[in-house]
Structures are given as structure tokens and as C-alpha cells.
Amino acid sequence: MLTSLRELMRPPAGMAFDFSQPAGEPALAPPDGVSWRVFANPVSLFIGGAAAVLLELAEPSVRSGVWDHSDFQRDPGKRLRRTGFAAMMTVYGPRSATEKLIARVVRMHGHVEGSTPDGLAYRANDPRLLDWVHATATFGFAEAYHRYVRPFSAGEQDAAFFEALPSARLYGASGAPGSRAEWETLLAATAPRLEGSEILAEFLRIMSGAAILPAPMRWLQRLLMRAAVQMTPEPVRSLPQLRGRGLRRGEATLVRLLARAAMLLPMKQSPPAQAARRLAAQAARRLAAQDAPPP
């Protein structure tokens, strides 16, 4: 069951990447930080990513940019794996490869622009929109871990946002929040623009029924989507498309059990395990050099 979710952590077809190389090269996020723990849990990653998209789709300009210029409707599984791979790179990937990946995404986003149904012009590389996208992603992943895996202290919640700043800056999100308090401020400032839509309802429908997990595990997919709705902050959680679609009685306990059980899965070839070997190899070389007799 949980191994099906673990598969979502693998790079999509055509994007295979060895996170164990080159030996010793650091990632954008510190290996002893909060992010390395958050992104190693496939259950909270699924929940947090879904919650982030719910928040993004509630913002009109982001909604149009995502829905009009994405293959999500045609192949949600592929889109999720591609987005997940980019997230894994920002946390575990060697810095040089991550910077190249982000630069490529930024160039692609440079061609994404249009107008909302209400006639509001948007462009994907608008720093205001990028701030919202990166803030909602950081909130989603960290909050899902906090709620369903292990509670974070206030300092750890701040660290999750602070550790995301290097990648946010590379993407162009120059005003992305660096703490939980800054996230709350951004949420309050954005709240008047957030709204429901048929696209929000369609996203929920697709995520609940699409072939993302194997057919026998589709109940788990729907459960995790309810967990995502449950943790979505106001005013989005009360939108008509989300109202009453959170967790049912007793399901929060089940989600926590699943998320904690996921920490016990063998993950030897996962991005975090490979990245740990990449950094350990260089540390071992340094120790060997220190212990070597003088020439």
C-alpha cells in the first residue's frame, strides 16, 4: 500500500537522476534541517502537495496560469511526478544540477502568460504570483508533516520557510516568506483575492479518481485528499467546493498511522537516501585524509 506512494518519489520517465553524485556537493537545503525530514515522507508529501495546489487554485491569476498551461488534466500522475521531482531536487539535489533545473523552469515560465476569465492579465514569472506559489508549497509540505507525522516546534516551523528561501529566490520569488509569521501575513494579505471556482471542484474530482495510485489503492488516494482539505487554512477551506470534504470521524488517526508507518519503509534508492550517501562519501574522504600518515 505505502510502497505505491513511495513510487511517486521516483523521477518520472526520461528524468532519471542519481542523487548520490557528485560526491560531497551540497544541496540548497541543509542535510540537518527540517526540509530533509519533511520531504522523506511520501504520505505527508502527497497531502501537502495537494493542499498547496488547493491554495494556488484559489488565487485567480495562479489558477489560470496553472490550468491553461499545464497537462495536469490529461495526465495528472505524470504532472505530479514532474513537480515532485523538481521539489526533491531543491531539497536533496546537488546545488549545480538544481540551479540548472530551476533556470530551465524559469525560462519555460517566461512564455506563460495570458488573462483570467475576468480579463486580468498575468504572467507566470510575476514575483507576486511566485511568492504565493512558493509560500503555499512550503506551508503545505511542512504543515502536513506537522499534523500527520510529528508536530514541529515553533522554531522548526520557521526553519521550514527559511530553508526554502534559496530555491525561492532562484525561481524569482523574491518576497517569499522566511518564517511562519511571514506566511500568516502573506495569507492575510492574499485572502481577499481567494475564491472558489469550477476548476477547484474539477481538481478535487481528478485527484480523487485519477489513476495516480493503483486501482485497489484508490480509497487511500481519496483519504489523503480529504486530509489535504482538512489542513487547508481559511478562507479556502470554507469555499463551497471544499466545504464538508475534509476528514471524517476517526480518519485523522488513520492518516497519522499511515504517515508514521511510511517512515519505516525501506528507502535505499530514494532521493534522500542517495543524497545522504553523496554527502557521506565526501565526509569519509576527509576523515581518511586526516588519518593518513604524513608523506
- Residue 35 has a pLDDT of 97
18-74 tens-digit pLDDT: 999 999 999 999 999 999 999 999 999 999 999 999 999 999 999 999 898 887 777
Higher pLDDT: 186 or 86? It is 186
Lowest-confidence segment of 58-72, 93-107, 178-192 by average pLDDT = 58-72
280-290 tens-digit pLDDT: 966 555 544 45
Distance CA(9)–CA(5), nearest Å, equals: 8
> At 187, is the secondary structure helix, strand, or coil?
helix
Residue 277: all three cell numbers together: 550517501
Lowest-confidence segment of 157-166, 243-252, 286-295 by average pLDDT = 286-295
Q: What DSSP string describes 96-137? A: HHHHHHHHHHHHHHTT-EEE-TTS-EEETT-HHHHHHHHHHH
Distance CA(126)–CA(130), nearest Å, equals: 6
Mean pLDDT of 209-237: 92
Mean pLDDT of 221-235: 97
Domain range enclosing 83: 2-291
Q: Residue 95 in contact with residue 167, Cβ under 8 Å?
A: no
**Number of independent structural domains in the chain:** 1
